[in-house]
């Protein structure tokens, strides 16, 4: 007769037909994070760095946000592509939609920069916040259309814009708890699915 092992979820042990107990260790948090969650956590961390950069050096932070557009776009493309592949959908449509989505953001940021350079109506502080606001909006819309976790990142970026516009001195006290809460929500959601 073969021996049957039934897991005991309450105690973390495995019971067998014999009187032996074997302790089963749970995987560490680092091992339980999947690639997509690690990517979103990285986006949130990069966003926090950029928000700090915007707060201390607004004139130079514009270029940081421009550099983040391909990073966010590539992430969205990867997540959309992997989801389409799992569902057996055509990948070429996902690629075109994603490219148009993120290239539209680059065009909008380029126009904002052009307005800043040619008309002097927009200061360097304002241009950085406008670039961040544009990235927040497009990231949120990527969450609406592609993956809900982009909405979380978009809300964090939008909260940063609101915080910078309303309470520049307190931005870190607003963003860090929101980012920590979002990371906890992702872990909680992943653990329950």
pLDDT attached to residue 101 = 93
Residues 51, 136: contact at Cβ < 8 Å? Answer: no
The pLDDT averaged over each successive group of 10 residues in the chain (193 residues) is 44 49 52 72 86 77 88 90 82 88 92 83 80 91 89 89 71 73 82 77
Residues 45, 52: contact at Cβ < 8 Å? Answer: no
pLDDT attached to residue 171 = 58
DSSP letter assigned to residue 28? P
pLDDT attached to residue 107 = 93
pLDDT attached to residue 118 = 84
pLDDT attached to residue 19 = 52
pLDDT attached to residue 12 = 46
């Amino acid at each position: 007769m073969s021996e049957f092992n039934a897991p005991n979820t309450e105690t973390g042990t495995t019971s067998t037909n014999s009187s032996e107990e074997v302790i089963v260790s749970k995987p560490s948090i680092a091992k339980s994070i999947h690639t997509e969650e690690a990517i979103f956590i990285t986006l949130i961390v990069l966003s926090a760095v950029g928000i700090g950069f915007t707060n201390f050096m607004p004139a130079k932070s514009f270029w940081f946000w421009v550099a983040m557009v391909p990073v966010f776009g590539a992430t969205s493309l990867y997540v959309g592509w992997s989801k389409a592949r799992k569902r057996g959908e055509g990948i070429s449509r996902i690629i075109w939609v994603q490219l148009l989505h993120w290239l539209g953001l680059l065009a909008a940021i380029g126009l904002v920069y052009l307005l800043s350079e040619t008309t002097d109506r927009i200061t360097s502080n304002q241009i950085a916040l406008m670039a961040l606001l544009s990235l927040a909006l497009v990231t949120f819309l990527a969450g609406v259309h592609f993956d809900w976790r982009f909405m979380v990142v978009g809300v964090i970026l939008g909260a940063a814009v609101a915080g910078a516009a309303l309470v520049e001195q307190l931005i870190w006290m607003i963003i860090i708890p929101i980012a920590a809460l979002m990371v906890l929500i992702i872990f909680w959601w992943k653990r329950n699915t």
